Structure 1
């Protein structure tokens, strides 16, 4: 079983004012220091336990790839240490270690040796590697003629030819075609079930929330948040609009879940409820039942354009459905300070049995990245039960009519 322990990890690069200053420092050991340290990462501490899956997220430049390089040993840390146990397989930069003039087969042999496989093991595994990569005759062509997707197929197939104790994946999977990405994540899930420890960097919100037990948010080279994937993703989503003089706050609800609320506060929701056909507030609804989502809004400042949006999320935080008044051509213009508004959204709860939450957004357009007045996750939680429909699987009730006939 594999474990990863990161302790006080930091990475800094030297910055010199000029080439002359760099040369002076090199040639004159006792000369005053001529460089300043540019910290890329500082004070990173976390542990990935055996069999656990942890996702790392953050905007470009947050230090995600540098962190993985230090963990895998391809970059030396300035401070701190990394301890790992077990066989490690890593996919970092696409095609790292591949020689463009060697064939895919030759590169597979070399990459396998770097992962600790013996030559005999690689030759024994080669049919499985070829079958999983599905690049056909290109396996015996130089890698320089490969597309980025083909390189990713071969690299992933080699890295996962034997189930590792620890699997580390950077964003290389993002360049693959949809079919192979699904195939790769199916293998990752299979490894997880068998006990592999997973550390993954991805901008794919769905992948992080469906695979990972925990998520880590990096911001400006520091660990900004660590916790349940949905909570961290909600906070990350709020941070994306943080250049608008908005506040981002996390509230611990009665059930222990962390609710993220962000925005400038120019407009905010005052009450959110789900109503049945008779207008009564409900927390449990039947599959297919007609319901009304009632959202009350208070406006504190004059707003040129107000858009209300909402999303229905499943228990893992995946958005099942979402829309807004911009998309429905119902934008409110020139809203005065002090206005009290009520939105009533009517729809059939064509959802599968389970627990769902509502997220709300008050913005000036169809995105919260322009003017985020308020974004509220976990604004409401409700449960869907199946009282009288035939049993079905999935998150959506799409009741079909099936006809069977002779050919």
Structure 2
């Protein structure tokens, strides 16, 4: 990654004037020196950042946090109210679905139009057209007006143009959520290739697994301001912390909130939750520590101790096994049997075991203490992120991928013999 920034902002902000009635807008135009007849809404406030060549920056945040506004400012489709912005290189962007397309033009005509907007000469567009058409794979619709396209066809053509013109900077704003599974796979493969070749990527998504996969840094926006910036794994967890907090406040009418808690593994993990309970201890049984190493096929056992309030009626523990970038590869949800109440609190312990049928490498284990029946409907009490770590030592790998599912050939000689006997 180059040290020179291709995008740099300093105190960048965008303010919109909100009018309660149409006549207020007219009066403001006629009497600009009079009393303001609008309310100010700052969609983006004091955003300062540097994005370097070859960097893949994920931008996360809830709806209305300012993500799209920031991208529009970087693309130049809207002007800033304050601050400065500099950018270098050709920018291709997938913002609002169908933006940049003339609905009366055919797909072919819109390819040439978008290529011209991106600064390509007609000969350059012609040289790339077959690749763009093949990538979009919309068949004869390439010569039909884009107003007749479905949302999936629009995003296919828009993405094909954006990636096939080989931009210096590619901006993707949730566009991949529209495409079907096969097209998403093709898009992700192309993004992976382009970022390896040094293209700068700005990627907005609510899918944290995609942010972790493609980005080496993440920017978390909240209420138009930078909440935090750092490793995608840490930013994803901070985002989930805020979402959990909002859920608990809503469900409890503001009585319960989710806050940062003490991490049992302060060197690598983080923790958050409520004051309804906590995970007091979690270790590998073979070492009594937060780290251990195993060989393929070993039995891995984890001892977990918890403390929950009497108000928690259905305590359970969630264990997820994650690869190096904290992408979940397996997990389990197990009920906890708590003991007798002592001063309003109950202790509960559990041991969980699984086989180390994994490829060689480093893995992490995240634990969640919850109240409820299932992972989807439970209320979070505490989450210890990447609390445990273990290595699977190199050996003779006889399977593909990360998890060994013991896939083996099946012989059906016995069935064939019986079928022959019955026929005769």
Q: TM-score scaled to structure 2, two decimals? A: 0.87
1:79-158 aligned within 5 A = 79-158=82-161
Q: Counterparts of 2:336 and 2:47 in 1: how far apart (Å)?
A: 44
Q: Which residue of 2 aligns with 1:318?
A: 327
Q: Offset of 1:263 from its aligned partner?
A: 1.3
Q: Which residue of 1 aligns with 2:387?
A: 379
Q: What value does the CA root-mean-square deviation take over the aligned residues?
A: 2.5
Structure 2 residue 307 is matched with structure 1 residue 298 = yes
Structure 2 residue 405 is matched with structure 1 residue 398 = yes
SS, match of residue 77 in structure 2: coil
1:2-401 aligned within 5 A = 3-243=6-246, 244=248, 245-249=256-260, 257=268, 259-276=269-286, 283-325=292-334, 330=335, 336=341, 337-365=344-372, 366-367=374-375, 371-387=379-395, 389-390=396-397, 392-401=399-408
Q: Offset of 1:261 from its aligned partner?
A: 1.5
Q: Offset of 1:123 from its aligned partner?
A: 1.7
Partners of 1:305 and 1:333 within 8 A in 2 = no
Partners of 1:359 and 1:375 within 8 A in 2 = yes
Q: Offset of 1:370 from its aligned partner?
A: 5.6
> Which segment drifts farther, 292-301 or 146-155?
292-301
Change (3 A) 1:17 1:144: closer
Q: TM-score scaled to structure 1, two decimals? A: 0.90
Q: Offset of 1:252 from its aligned partner?
A: 8.2
Change (3 A) 1:7 1:250: farther
Q: Offset of 1:397 from its aligned partner?
A: 2.1
Deviations, residues 135-182 of structure 1 (Å, cap 9, x unaligned): 111111221222211111111111122211111111111101111111
Gaps of 5+ in 2: 249-255, 413-424
SS, match of residue 407 in structure 2: coil
Gaps of 5+ in 1: none
Displaced runs of 4 or more, over 6 A: 250-255
What is the count of residue pairs matched by the alignment? 397
Partners of 2:306 and 2:348 within 8 A in 1 = yes
Q: Offset of 1:403 from its aligned partner?
A: 7.1
